[in-house]
Amino acid sequence: MKFFVDTAEVSEIRSLAEAGLVDGVTTNPSLIAKSGRKMAEVIAEICAITPGPVSAEVTATEYEDMLAEGRYLREIAPNVAVKVPLTEAGLGTCRALSAEGTLVNVTLCFSAAQALLAAKAGATFISPFVGRLDDIATDGMLLIADIVKIYRNYPHIKTEVLVASIRHPIHLVEAAKLGAGVATLPPAVIRQLLKHPLTDRGLEAFLADWRKTGQSIL
């Protein structure tokens, strides 16, 4: 499973990349706004940190404008994945950009039917938002199960399921059990994946016993 980091905070991406935990990055207009930086500048900096796909989202809503924005964003760096919303104009833009060899991440997916349309439009990635479904008492992981099952019925579909809107480690584990290819995680959730109290306690005990030996390895 590939781990993407869901943030536009360069310092977070850099530290996680140094730990080998970054296979790509996803941003969205809200994350860019939160960074307080110009989109082209921060996307360029992120693309220089990781060779993996870096999602940069269009903000136009009409086809021609979306296409123009997508063609601009892809020029920022070779590893830019243009993000488009799951609308009719977004799917048209996805089809056009993917036909031109551009990576496309179709976002704001909330149904299996939408995911099927994105695959038909040639999406590189489909981003179903599990957390936002959970937020309205709808099991987001059932959507992931449906999309993975449907895509597996059609070997010609090369669209990767990029599980998004992840709120906690269980979302990640369940997505991995289902065979989703990619998960995009807030930095805090990536760090939560690492933690277990028994690991901490076990390490403390090992080191306490080691100190009693008076030895040092070097």
Active site residues: 83
How does 146-180 read in b/e, with b if 16+ C-beta sit within 10 Å?
bbbeebeeeeebebbbbbbbbbebebbebbeebeb
Task: Burial-class residue 140 by CB neighbours within 10 Å (0-12, 13-18, 19+).
Answer: buried
Interaction of residue 6 with ligand G3P, rule CB under 6 A: yes
Provide the minimum distance between the beta carbon of 132 and ligand G3P in the complex, in angstroms, as a whole number: 5
Residues 30-59 that bind ligand G3P (CB under 6 A): none
DSSP β-bridge partners for residue 83: 57, 105
182/208 with CB nearer ligand G3P: 182
99/176 with CB nearer ligand G3P: 176
| Alpha-carbon span 111 to 199, nearest angstrom | 38
Q: Provide CB contacts within 8 A for 69, sequence distance 6+.
A: 58, 59, 60
Interaction of residue 28 with ligand G3P, rule CB under 6 A: yes
Residues in contact with ligand G3P, counted by CB under 6 A, come to a total of: 9
Closest of 75, 70, 82, 154 to residue 112, by C-alpha = 154
Binds ligand G3P by CB under 6 A, chosen from 103, 164, 172, 182: 164
The pattern of x and - marking residues 112 through 151 that bind ligand G3P according to CB under 6 A reads -----------------x-xx-------------------
Binds ligand G3P by CB under 6 A, chosen from 93, 124, 159, 184: 184
Residue type, 54: V
Which residues sit at the interface with ligand G3P, rule CB under 6 A? 6, 26, 28, 129, 131-132, 164-165, 184
